[in-house]
Amino acid sequence: MRKTVVMGVLLTLLLASLPPTAACETEVANALEGKFPSPTGISPNKDDSVREAVRLAEVGQEVAREMLWQVLMGGQSLGGHYRF
């Protein structure tokens, strides 16, 4: 019984340490096509989209700050113009 438990634990550890086959096949296929992983860990396309999302978020934050400032200073929006 003890021998079976030890063998089961060792087999489980061995199987857990093996990488999934699909991930290895994908990496090999990409390497054969000349697509190697980015040194930064993120693809150039994804990097560009993240930069664009950050830029748009900064624009939104600036607009929100300006609107909050106008409200706090007593401005009231009427058709796109502020009236004090």
32 and 17 share a domain? yes
52 and 15 share a domain? no
CA distance 37 to 26: 11
Q: Which of 81, 56, 61 is nearest to 70 (CA)?
A: 81
Please report which helix (H) or strand (E) contains residue 78, including its range.
strand 76-78
Convert the pLDDT of each residue in 16-64 to its tens digit: 776 655 455 667 777 778 777 766 666 666 777 888 889 999 999 999 9
What local confidence, expressed as pLDDT, does residue 75 receive? 72
47 and 84 share a domain? yes
24 and 52 share a domain? no
Considering its fold, how many domains does the chain have in total?
A: 2
Domain extent at residue 83: 42-84
DSSP designation for 14: H
What local confidence, expressed as pLDDT, does residue 57 receive? 93
32 and 47 share a domain? no
Convert the pLDDT of each residue in 6-19 to its tens digit: 888 887 877 677 66
